[in-house]
Amino acid sequence: MKVLMVDKEKCTGCHQCELWCGTEIASTSRELARAINEAPQPVPRVYVEGQKFALQCRHCENAPCLDACPNGTMRRDPETGLVYVNEPTCIACWMCVMVCPFGIINPSSSMKVAIKCDRCRSMGYPICAEVCPTGALSIVERKDYRKKKF
């Protein structure tokens, strides 16, 4: 499957990805000026962490969130391998939050759903990578790290 990679040399920690994700994906108005005043506040799905590194859901190979979700709300798209939240059925139990090793699922108590990056699966291309001014984010094929046995 494909994964989103961050070039740490290029990421300047400017938070553009967070801002755009919060506006284009998370807000209802889709306009920055209005989005900042929306209630509940839009939740971006990407976190610029440790000063400068844009972190989103890593779409784990064996995703613990999939095993923890008690009603199949957390799903994997069989075609792309992307893990996503089927928001209408989410019961806000936060069992996925409890096990996500990257801590990138936001338990939104105001919206009563688990919010996380689905790499813009319905748009085809992630907004964060599109707007990054330095081109630090790119989509690449996941490397096969398993030792080959011959």
Q: What's the rounded Cα separation, in Å, for the pair 88 and 85?
A: 9
Q: Which residues pair with 55 in a beta bridge?
A: 47
Q: Is 150 in the site for another protein (CB under 8 A)?
A: no
Min dist. Cβ of residue 135 to another protein (A): 15
Min dist. Cβ of residue 118 to ligand SF4 (A): 9
85 contact, one of another protein, ligand SF4, none, CB 5-8 Å limit per kind: ligand SF4
Q: What's the rounded Cα separation, in Å, for the pair 27 and 120?
A: 14
Size of the site for ligand SF4 (CB under 6 A): 27
- Give, in order, the Cα–Cα distances in Å from 127 to each of 19, 48, 114, 132, 137: 10, 15, 20, 9, 10
> Contact positions toward another protein, by CB under 8 A?
3, 5-8, 47, 49-50, 53, 55, 58-62, 64, 67-72, 89, 91-95, 97-107, 109, 112, 142-145
